Amino acid sequence: MTLRDALDRTLLLMRDEVHDTVTDDELIAALTGLRVALVADAANIASHSAQTAFVTAAMLMARSGHHVHLICPPAALVGQQPPLGRGDLVEELARAGADLLPGYSFATGAPVGEVDIAITLGNSEISVRAARLIRLNARPWSGHLGDQTASNMWDGGLWPLGGMAAAGLAAAEAFKTSMRTLAHAARNPARMETVFAPATNVVFALAPEGTPFVRQLGTFDCISGGAIINAILYALARVPGVEGRARVIEPDTTDTSNLNRYMLLQRSRLKDDKAHDLATILTGCGLAIEPVPKRYEPAQLPSLLPLAASVLVGVDDIPTRWLVQRAGPDWLGVGATTHWSALASFHADGLGCAQCLHPTDDPGNAPIPTVAFVSFWAGLLTASYFLRHRASQTIPASEQQIYLTALRPEHPSWSAVPRRRGCPSCAALRAPVLDKSAQRSPHTRAGGAVFLAARFPVCPAGTD
Ligand SMILES: [Zn+2]
């Protein structure tokens, strides 16, 4: 197992932007050569929000191989931060960091000389010389990326969602700094100059401030145990006092090439099955995970249905999203990525369904280019929709989906999902033979046959 194996999918994504003559070693050098100082002082690291931002930024940058100095005084973790244990923030981060990419570790001392980028929380004092200084801040539901002129104390408090958004903003800035060292080999120099330019003074709102906090998540199902479900569960596990029960329906085992983006995965646990691994790492976190090591596909439906009323989907395979939609969950959240962009949507009665949103399949078995901060954004955005749903907030239909190119967080695109005429999944959901008892009792012989025949008249292909 090598660093190159672990960064395989990240390198694939970088190759979108650079000529084929660039070697893997050059790409890896661009990632590992980036020197970052992540800085917080005692006053600014005290809250759960700030600690979540610090941990998340550190882990996202570590999964992209950046050389990160953790500069923070001793601070007891005030909330749970899986895959970290309880204890001191920097000690636990250092332990977790040594169990990520092969050969990787955080630096816990001050850097010698100038770093490429210093990322500081709130108005923490900084004694490091840096080519660029970023100051992060947060409100409960929004993350803030500022420059050296930002001067406010960390403002996130207890609720950690905004802190995670701040971390996502910071990790993208670090990654762009790495990419700009490859500008000489850019396929499109103008794109490199614009898309990969620094972002400054960004406020990214996951939800309106004032959105209620919620900790009772009830019962829900997760379809897949991959990168996006990892990010969703990573975010939900940080909700103070969270309680919930979830099935994770996923047949595969973890692989070295997952380390670049699976937020809860550690190298020492590779080759476990993904569903059991999530159950293990989240033990004691308030989220009771029931691993279901099966593929969500037509042949398995009799043993998997009924789904919970709320379902979170993180599969790349588009027909699988249709298959979940046709099972008729009351509320469905879908997270996805494509190259540098993260997508999230939710689907409920009266709104466009998952097939209205993605009506055509995009088959292919080639390895998918992905990077830590994009997968994380997809999960964070989906988790935010879910928390708003659980808080009984009415989300405007005009915000039913979000498309975020994570490199340019100034311009998220929120929009409706129009219902499509002739959508097969919408038609299946209206099938007249269906009644609620059949939907909720598909295991009974009669109910199951009626339900399956009504909802899945033509079963799509299996999942990826
Ligand atoms: Zn539809």
Is the distance from CB of 264 to CB of 292 less than 8 angstroms?
no
> In which band, very low, low, confident or very high, does the pLDDT at 463 lie, cut at 50, 70 and 90?
very low
Q: Picking from 171-185, 240-254, 358-372, which range would have the lowest pLDDT averaged per residue? A: 358-372
For residue 19, pLDDT over 90 is answered with yes
- Distance in Å, CA 244 to ligand 1 centroid: 29
More confident call, 323 vs 464: 323
- What was the pLDDT predicted at 55? 98
CA distances from 322 to 64, 142, 348, 355, 418 (A): 32, 31, 14, 6, 16
- Distance in Å, CA 457 to ligand 1 centroid: 15
- Distance in Å, CA 295 to ligand 1 centroid: 23
- When pLDDT is averaged across residues 190-199 and rounded to a whole number, the result is 97
For residue 225, pLDDT over 50 is answered with yes
Residue 426 neighbours by CB under 8 Å, 6+ apart: 353, 355, 356, 419, 420
- When pLDDT is averaged across residues 314-336 and rounded to a whole number, the result is 97
- What was the pLDDT predicted at 363? 81
For residue 462, pLDDT over 80 is answered with no
- Distance in Å, CA 178 to ligand 1 centroid: 41
Distance CA 249, CA 158 (A): 31
- What was the pLDDT predicted at 364? 80
The CATH code for residues 3-205 is: 3.40.50.720
> In which band, very low, low, confident or very high, does the pLDDT at 131 lie, cut at 50, 70 and 90?
very high
- Distance in Å, CA 424 to ligand 1 centroid: 7
Q: Considering the entire predicted model, what is its pTM?
A: 0.94
For residue 445, pLDDT over 50 is answered with no
Of the candidates 192, 186, 195, 314, the residue with the CA atom closest to the CA atom of residue 248: 314
- When pLDDT is averaged across residues 352-366 and rounded to a whole number, the result is 92
- When pLDDT is averaged across residues 28-51 and rounded to a whole number, the result is 98
For residue 56, pLDDT over 60 is answered with yes
- What was the pLDDT predicted at 432? 63
Percent of the chain with pLDDT over 90: 89
E strands along 314-416, which residues?
331-338, 341-348, 401-405, 413-415
- Distance in Å, CA 396 to ligand 1 centroid: 18
Helix (H, G, I), strand (E, B) or coil at 434: coil
For residue 351, pLDDT over 90 is answered with yes
Distance CA 35, CA 112 (A): 10
Token reading at 183 = 């500008």
Chain segment 146-166, per-residue pLDDT in tens: 998 888 999 999 999 999 999
- What was the pLDDT predicted at 447? 47
Q: Picking from 212-221, 255-264, 364-373, which range would have the lowest pLDDT averaged per residue? A: 364-373
> In which band, very low, low, confident or very high, does the pLDDT at 453 lie, cut at 50, 70 and 90?
low
Give yes or no on whether 3-205 and 216-455 have one common fold.
yes
Q: Is the dihedral of CA 190, 191, 193, 194 positive or negative?
A: positive
The CATH code for residues 216-455 is: 3.40.50.720
> In which band, very low, low, confident or very high, does the pLDDT at 442 lie, cut at 50, 70 and 90?
very low
- When pLDDT is averaged across residues 375-383 and rounded to a whole number, the result is 98
Chain segment 100-129, per-residue pLDDT in tens: 999 999 999 899 999 999 999 999 999 999
Q: Could you tell me the strand order of the sheet in which 67-71 lies?
A: 67-71, 35-39, 117-121, 133-139, 142-146, 202-205
> In which band, very low, low, confident or very high, does the pLDDT at 408 lie, cut at 50, 70 and 90?
very high
Q: Using DSSP, how many helices (H) and how many strands (E) does the chain show?
A: 16, 14
- Distance in Å, CA 327 to ligand 1 centroid: 13
Q: How far apart are the first and last CA of the chain?
A: 24
- What was the pLDDT predicted at 365? 81
> In which band, very low, low, confident or very high, does the pLDDT at 454 lie, cut at 50, 70 and 90?
low
Chain segment 275-311, per-residue pLDDT in tens: 999 999 999 999 999 999 999 999 999 999 999 999 9
- Distance in Å, CA 401 to ligand 1 centroid: 14
Q: Picking from 40-49, 174-183, 380-389, 452-461, which range would have the lowest pLDDT averaged per residue? A: 452-461
- Distance in Å, CA 357 to ligand 1 centroid: 7
- Distance in Å, CA 144 to ligand 1 centroid: 36
Q: Could you tell me the strand order of the sheet in which 216-223 lies?
A: 287-292, 243-249, 216-223, 310-313, 331-338, 341-348, 401-405, 413-415
> In which band, very low, low, confident or very high, does the pLDDT at 450 lie, cut at 50, 70 and 90?
low
- What was the pLDDT predicted at 451? 61
Distance CA 342, CA 404 (A): 5
- Distance in Å, CA 426 to ligand 1 centroid: 4
Q: Where are the domains of the chain?
A: 3-205, 216-455
> In which band, very low, low, confident or very high, does the pLDDT at 64 lie, cut at 50, 70 and 90?
very high
- When pLDDT is averaged across residues 258-262 and rounded to a whole number, the result is 98
- Distance in Å, CA 361 to ligand 1 centroid: 14
- When pLDDT is averaged across residues 402-413 and rounded to a whole number, the result is 98
